[in-house]
Homo-oligomer: A and B are copies of this chain.
Amino acid sequence: MSTAADRELPLPPPAGCRAREILEIIADKWSLYVVASLGDGPRRFNELKRSIDGISQRMLTVTLRGLERNGILTRTVLNVMPPHVSYELTPMGSTLVAATAPLIEWSTRNLSAIDAARLEYDARGARRTSSRR
């Protein structure tokens, strides 16, 4: 029966639980690029598309809609011919960019270390892990 499992944790999803939910705002494949690109200033649809290598029209649209819905950016339609649409970070969007900065910096600073770790891990065939007795 209850061996030593009295360590029940009644709050597995801690206060930071919704942090995941928020992470999902930028954890998809393209949001980070879009947000980063808008960090330089307002952009139009095709400007964004050109600035983000490999993104499809569909995914750019989907990504922009999601970010707009979450209040990260605004969409402004210029009623002219041909139509222009300008995307711009909201104040909250700007603070998000700032909040991601440490992570970006961490990544650039640890790129080589991560590559090395991967090489080593793959080299040893994942067979060998440190063991003690």
Interface, chain A (partner B; CB < 8 A): 7, 9, 12-23, 25-29, 32-33, 36, 50-54, 65, 68-71, 74-80, 92, 95-96, 98-108, 110-111, 113-114, 116-118, 121-122, 126, 129-133
Contacts and interface: CB of A to CB of B under 8 A. Distances in A.
| Most chain B beta-carbon neighbours within 10 Å: one of A14, A65, A75, A118 | A14
Nearest to A116: B71
Q: What copy number does this chain have within its complex?
A: 2
B78 A133 contact: yes
A12 B53 CA distance: 5
B102 A102 contact: yes
Contacts of A102: 98-103
